[in-house]
Amino acid sequence: MSRNYYVIKEGDEWKVKLERGRVISTHRTQKAAKREAKRLGRNNGRGVTVNAAEGYTRYSIGKDEL
């Protein structure tokens, strides 16, 4: 099973992170981070999980839906 990309908020920045892995990129807005996570997911055959600023999971997108 492949690891998803996560969109998370740390401090004042939104980050795209590989599940149980390193931070891939940093963005000023959640929208920009989601766009990058979706692009990475399509290119690498992985899903995307988007978290709210409060930390809970807002939604997940399977790799087949990207």
DSSP the chain: -PPPEEEEEETTEEEEEETTS-EEEEESSHHHHHHHHHHHHHHHT--EEEE-TTSSEEEEE-GGG-
pLDDT in tens, 15-33: 999 999 999 999 999 999 9
Quick: pLDDT tens for 33-64: 999 999 999 999 999 999 999 999 999 999 99
The structure's pTM equals 0.94
